[in-house]
Amino acid sequence: MKHSVELVRGLKEAAIAVRQEIVKMTSNANSGHLGGSLSCVDILIALYFHHLKHNPRNPSWPERDRFVLSKGHAAPAFYATLALSGYFPKEELSTLRNINSRLQGHPDNRKTPGVEVSTGSLGQGLSAAIGMALGFKLAGKNNHVYALVGDGELNEGEIWEAAMFASHHKIVNIMVLVDRNHGQNDGREEEVMSMEPLAAKWTAFGWNVFGVDGYNIKDLLDILDKSMQNRKKPIVIIAETVKGKGISLVEGNDDYHAKPLPKELAAQAVAELEKRKKIL
């Protein structure tokens, strides 16, 4: 399908707005995972602002697709996307990580509208997503399930148990999106535990593999469309990304895995992002 220039431009602008909210809310909380939140924003935008079948005014609409943030520590990116989609007021983002807030450090489906599964313990979200997809298949329903995983998260053995389960049971309504930013908690993924050859691993586990630049919105939309056709296997999209994307001080800087910007630098980062809006 051809996507209009206006649509793509609008989504790019939304991605910048989400990044600004991530910076503000983590700085305000003086806590939260900045690097891996900024890396996956465009993927979330492509899903929530265009691809997913969902209704923010009715989060429990039975016909909705399901999304699971398996890399639950990227909650700031998720919350900002949900708020800008209309699940709850944008003002609530400033309550991130406060006691009694609906927006805890990791997503909690008992608290936050739009959160389907509580996540944060890496490796588990994909199993829950595949379970939901199997449920829809057994019920003869047409809903699709999406799971966003980190590439460091792929070190978890449970991911690969889930992957072989999905292909064995021919669960084709599941899609995994890998935020391939090559970083994790303790450094570069290639040094901690390399996942290469990553595409070949998923292929060997019986999945259909697509690759995409995680910041080319048009390509993201195209690949999401393409992957919906002739689904005979579970799908994985490996999106090449960068930790801290969009802010020069943070981009590619592993120090910011779980560290927010102090107030003054946060204001600078928000201003830098504002300038980027003007040159879209």
Q: Pick the closer one to ligand TPP by CB: 21 or 179.
A: 179
Say how far apart CA 260 and CA 250 lie, in whole Å.
10
- Region of 277 (left: φ > 0; alpha: ψ -120 to 50; beta: rest) is alpha
- Count other Cβ atoms within 10 Å, centred on residue 181: 24
Give whole-number Cα distances, 24 to 11, 106, 210, in Å. 20, 17, 33
Q: Pick the closer one to ligand TPP by CB: 123 or 234.
A: 123
152 binds ligand TPP (CB under 6 A): yes
121 binds ligand TPP (CB under 6 A): yes
Contact indicator for 23, 34 with CB cutoff of 8 Å: yes
Within 31-50, which residues bind ligand TPP (CB under 6 A)? 33, 35-36, 39
184 binds ligand TPP (CB under 6 A): yes
Considering only 21, 42, 65, 151, the residue that binds ligand TPP (CB under 6 A) is 151
Considering only 29, 167, 179, 250, the residue that binds ligand TPP (CB under 6 A) is 179
Q: How far is the CB of 91 from ligand TPP (least distance, A)?
A: 26
Q: Any residues with CB less than 8 A from the CB of 166 and at least 6 apart, and which?
A: 130, 133, 174, 206, 207, 234
Q: How far is the CB of 152 from ligand TPP (least distance, A)?
A: 2
Considering only 130, 153, 174, 195, the residue that binds ligand TPP (CB under 6 A) is 153
Q: Any residues with CB less than 8 A from the CB of 62 and at least 6 apart, and which?
A: none
Q: Pick the closer one to ligand TPP by CB: 133 or 159.
A: 159
Contact indicator for 22, 38 with CB cutoff of 8 Å: yes
**What residues are paired with 203 via a beta bridge?**
none
Within 198-237, which residues bind ligand TPP (CB under 6 A)? none
Q: How far is the CB of 187 from ligand TPP (least distance, A)?
A: 10
Q: CB-hemisphere CA count at 13 Å for 236?
A: 30
Q: Pick the closer one to ligand TPP by CB: 137 or 243.
A: 243
Q: Pick the closer one to ligand TPP by CB: 119 or 173.
A: 119
Residue ranges in contact with ligand TPP by CB under 6 A:
33, 35-36, 39, 71, 73, 120-123, 150-153, 179, 181, 183-185, 243
